[in-house]
Amino acid sequence: MILMNDFRAEPAELVQREVAAVEKVIKSGWYILGNEVKNFETAWANCCGVNYAVGVGNGMDAIEIGLRTLNIGSGDEIITTPVTAFATVLAIIRAGATPVFADINTETALLNPVSVERCLSPRTKAILLVHLYGQVQDMDTWVTFCKHANIYLLEDCAQSHVASWKDKVTGSFGAWGAYSFYPTKNLGAIGDGGAIITNSENIANQAKILRNYGQSQRYYHSELGLNSRLDEIHAAILTIRLDWLDLFAARRKKIAQAYFDGIKNPLVRLLAKPIDSKSHVYHLFVILCNERDRLGSYLRERGIDNLIHYPVPVHHQPPCRNMRCDPKGLFHAESYTARCLSIPCHPQMSDTDVNKVIGVINEFR
Ligand SMILES: Cc1ncc(COP(=O)(O)O)c(C=O)c1O
């Protein structure tokens, strides 16, 4: 089976260095918020071109903590996309704020500014962009939009590790960016992990307090925080894996290019090509097909794994059914989620695997 991710096929040198890093942490006798976390935070901030990175427990907490650093909570609205991981929206709700859903562009599946405009209200505090599948688009538009509306620009970068728009990395355009290091992400730990990146010293300090029970000094609590700390073992693994991030991203881009060149089936549509080689890191490669479910089964029967990101738009999930949406509806999000299909696109795929995926898709009738 050509899998969606294949960690067991990773380079032996990477695995050896990871095992050595884990051994070092075990032997150090220090497991939470130590030097490994500090080192990784510095390395990740440098890689993203920002002043600060604060390691947290996972990507969802990164968003919740980020919102809380800005005092966004009860009574505040955050406009976001319904085509995202449920975690994006759950984080908004857990911070006490109210999500409002705008529609997407059909070419990219990213938020549509015209729809976002219709969702603005006096209670809007921020737009939470999701750089879905690893794409970053139109950041000049969003920066200007948020400036005019006098609201925060926030970025969910769980899928977009080091994707960049005009040489600025995702997460560095607004108040903060929230990253996930879930194992399948382009930069992943061997368990849960996340980080907030920011240029604001104040946001970074507040995030450090919130991730550790709201503790400003040991056993002194200025806030009601969370327990959401990045573990030393995961930080050590992430530091090692950072050395492979560019290489792995380059392989993902090469596979995506082969798909753009090779997939030629009138029943299958591809999303828009990125504007340049840095504005998409292909966390996922997604195709569209009116007979999506039949195509998914057909691929699996021929040894090609696939997934749907996402089968249900968030505003149709039971806990979110009464939430406010674009008054004109979310037609594009709804039709998109009925047609999208993610096909394998990971760094360990061989050229033979890639050619097989192309050939099998082209034979679908
Ligand atoms: C777009 C998006 N946001 C947030 C998250 C949440 O990240 P985590 O699983 O680390 O909490 C994910 C992870 O699946 C995601 O894809």
Q: What letter would DSSP give residue 112?
A: P
Q: 124-130 and 152-156: which strand pairing? A: parallel
- The helix or strand, by DSSP H or E, that contains position 33, with its residue range, turns out to be none
Which of helix, strand or coil describes residue 323? coil
Ligand 1 pocket, mutate which of 93, 180, 230 (most atoms under 8 A from CB): 180
What is the CATH number for 327?
3.90.1150.10
User: Has residue 297 been placed in a domain?
Assistant: yes
- Please check whether residue 292 lies inside any domain of the structure: yes
218 found inside a domain = yes
The answer to whether residues 184 and 249 belong to one domain is: no
Residue closest by Cα to atom 8 of ligand 1: 59
User: What is the DSSP annotation of 203-250?
Assistant: HHHHHHHHTBTTEEETTEESS---B---BHHHHHHHHHHHHHHHHHHH
Question: What is the best residue among 159, 211, 229, 314 to mutate for testing ligand 1's pocket, by most ligand atoms within 8 Å of CB?
Answer: 159
Mark whether 222 and 298 lie in a shared domain: no
Whole-model pTM over 0.75: yes
Neighbours of 43 (CB within 10 A): 16
Q: Which of 186, 208, 239 is the last residue of a domain?
A: 239
Q: What is the pLDDT of residue 183?
A: 98
Position 146 scores a pLDDT of 98
Residues 56 and 228: beta-carbon distance below 8 Å: yes
- Number of domains observed in the structure of the chain: 2
Can you give the pLDDT at residue 160? Answer: 98
pLDDT tens for the chain, 365 residues long, are: 999 999 999 999 999 999 999 999 999 999 999 999 999 999 999 999 999 999 999 999 999 999 999 999 999 999 999 999 999 999 999 999 999 999 999 999 999 999 999 999 999 999 999 999 999 999 999 999 999 999 999 999 999 999 999 999 999 999 999 999 999 999 999 999 999 999 999 999 999 999 999 999 999 999 999 999 999 999 999 999 999 999 999 999 999 999 999 999 999 999 999 999 999 999 999 999 999 999 999 999 999 999 999 999 999 999 999 999 999 999 999 999 999 999 999 999 999 999 999 999 999 99
212 shares its domain with 271: no
Cα distances (Å, whole numbers) of residue 87 to 57, 62, 294, 333, 357: 13, 10, 28, 17, 30
Q: How far is CA 201 from CA 161, 177, 205, 206, in A?
A: 22, 14, 6, 8
Listed residue (58, 26, 15) closest to 240, CA to CA: 15
Nearest to 81 by CA among 149, 142, 140: 142
CA of 57 to the centre of ligand 1 (A): 11
> Which pLDDT does position 30 carry in this prediction?
98
Domain boundary among 239, 254, 273: 239
The residue from 191, 220, 239 where one domain ends is: 239
Predicted pLDDT at 37: 98
What is the structure's pLDDT at 65?
Answer: 98
Q: Is 1 contained in some domain?
A: no
Phi first, then psi: give them for residue 108, nearest 5 degrees.
Answer: -125, -20
Tell whether 148 and 256 lie within a shared domain.
no
**Which is the closest atom of ligand 1 to the Cα of 60?**
11
pLDDT of residue 192: 98
Q: Kindly provide the b/e burial profile for residues 139-178, where b requires at least 16 CB atoms within 10 angstroms of the residue's own CB.
A: beebeebbeebebbbbbbbbbbbbbbbeebbbbbbbbbbb
In terms of domains, do 206 and 133 share one?
yes
Q: Are residues 219 and 255 in the same domain?
A: no
Cα of 87 from ligand 1 centre, angstroms: 6
Domain range spanning residue 230?
7-102+109-239
Token pair recorded at residue 282: 């292909």
**CB < 8 Å & 24+ apart, contacts of 310-318:** 310/83, 310/84, 310/85, 310/337, 310/340, 311/337, 312/337, 313/82, 313/83, 313/101, 313/337, 314/81, 314/82, 314/83, 314/84, 314/86, 314/88, 314/89, 314/99, 314/101, 315/82, 315/101, 316/82, 317/86
Pocket of ligand 1 (CB under 6 A): 58-60, 84-85, 87-88, 130, 156, 158-159, 180, 182, 192, 194
Same domain, 87 and 152: yes
DSSP bridge pairs for 343: 285
Distance 88 CA to ligand 1 centre (A): 7
Maximal CA-CA distance, the chain: 65
**Residue that is written with structure tokens 């327990």 in the block:** 227
Q: Please tell me whether residues 221 and 256 are part of one structural domain.
A: no
- CATH number at 115 reads 3.40.640.10
